[in-house]
Amino acid sequence: MRRSIVWILVLFFVATAISYSFAQTIEVGIVLPTKDEPRWIQDEARFNDALKTAGYSAEILFSQGSSAREKENVEALITKGAKILIICPHDATAAAASADEAREAGLKVISYDRLILETESVDYYVTFDSIAVGAAQAQYLVDKASGTGNPLYLYAGAATDNNSFLFFEGAWNVLQPKIADGTFVIKNSSKAIDLQGKAELTRAEMGDILGQVTTEWDFTTAKNLAEANLTVAEVADKGDVFILAPNDGTSRAIADAFADDKDIKSYVISGQDAEIPSVQYIIDGKQSMTVLKDVRTLVKDASDAAVTFLEGGVPEATHTYNNGRIDVPAKPSQVISVDKGNVKAAIIDSGYWDASEFTGLD
């Protein structure tokens, strides 16, 4: 009797261990950069929606702005048997080691929204057209400006993110002719002023400008930088101003700083991501525009690419992006410029966000 109880217990533990290890197996591992920005919570939510019908098992982990944590996440997903890694790198170059590790373990690596640099271990890149994002931001400022001598304040994303360069390049393409013809006068970057005669900038030149105007994609850094710029600016550098802000989180922070300055009479400011708080800022007239990058499309492209790889195929590519080592195949998606005039059609009527998220919509 005692012996059979022991055997039953042993069998029970073995069965539990086996089912536990099966339950832990996943096919697709997803790594996102941080939970601290609404943008990436959007991606998590949209992935969770997509995963209900995806037909594969997946797990989402966050790196919380740490490349070390990101590496641990990738290793955990490899251990769980993932066949595909979908990863949005915190730091483009630091993530190369994780991509290499995944490739060595036999995974396909999909770079998600941000390109991983300086490695051959990237199989596909799902992205929006980031040059078009920067161009849309700048075009909005250009369309709202009249006359000459309009004060222009430039801000950018983190230099560890390849997108920051693409956004800036897209914006510079549109702004530079309008700086050259006197419509705008740059007020917060001596490096940008030094380079304002050049239609095209090298990456190193953009890096120099970013060094002066980076927000690090961080709200506090953005607010402090804007306040510091306003502190040294003369009254004549203020008045009706134009602000290139790289995304919604930094746009709200910079907008708040400019709104607090008594010598600022009005400001036009860009953004991107259509985050709920920024859509509210647009409705309230506190942020001028955002660029809608429909995350549902990006998630679908990443999911479709994962399924194609799982079935042994190769996902469709319309473009390539050079990551310093190879040309990575990609299919960039289009973006939409949104302001108070089309916010209801683009954001609510399209089903992107529910009207109940906002006040003052009519």
Q: Rule CB under 6 A: which residues touch ligand BGC?
A: 37, 39, 113-114, 157, 161, 163, 217, 247, 272-273
Min dist. Cβ of residue 197 to ligand BGC (A):
29
Q: Which residue number places its CB atom closest to ligand BGC?
A: 247
Min dist. Cβ of residue 9 to ligand BGC (A):
51
Min dist. Cβ of residue 7 to ligand BGC (A):
55
Q: Give the residue with the Cβ less far from ligand BGC, 67 or 183.
A: 67
Q: Give the residue with the Cβ less far from ligand BGC, 123 or 161.
A: 161
Q: Give the residue with the Cβ less far from ligand BGC, 150 or 164.
A: 164
Min dist. Cβ of residue 166 to ligand BGC (A):
9
Q: Give the residue with the Cβ less far from ligand BGC, 150 or 280.
A: 280
Say if residue 213 is exposed, middle or buried (CB neighbours under 10 Å; 0-12, 13-18, 19+). buried
Q: Give the residue with the Cβ less far from ligand BGC, 128 or 258.
A: 128
Q: Give the residue with the Cβ less far from ligand BGC, 193 or 276.
A: 276
Cα 209 to Cα 215: distance, rounded to the nearest angstrom? 12
Min dist. Cβ of residue 49 to ligand BGC (A):
18
Min dist. Cβ of residue 305 to ligand BGC (A):
18
